[in-house]
Amino acid sequence: MDTKTLVVGQKVKIQSGDLFKEATVEEITENYVRVFIAPSGPFTKWLPKPGDQSRPGQTEIPYSPENQNGFSLDFLYDGTPCGVVEAGGVRDPRPLCTKFGPWKLTDN
| Residue 16 domain-assigned (yes or no) | yes
In a domain, 71, yes or no: yes
Q: Is 9 exposed, middle or buried (0-12, 13-18, 19+ CB in 10 A)?
A: exposed
Q: Is 20 within a domain? A: yes
Domain count, the chain: 1
Whether residue 93 lies inside any domain: the answer is: yes
Confidence band for 25, pLDDT divided at 50, 70 and 90: very high
- Domain span at residue 80 reads 3-44+67-106
Could you tell me if residue 51 is inside a domain?
no
- Between these two residues, 47 and 88, which has the higher pLDDT value? 88
Please report whether residue 40 resides in a domain: yes
Q: What is the mean pLDDT of residues 7-23?
A: 90
55 occurs within a structural domain: no
- Tell if the pTM clears 0.85, that is, is over it: no
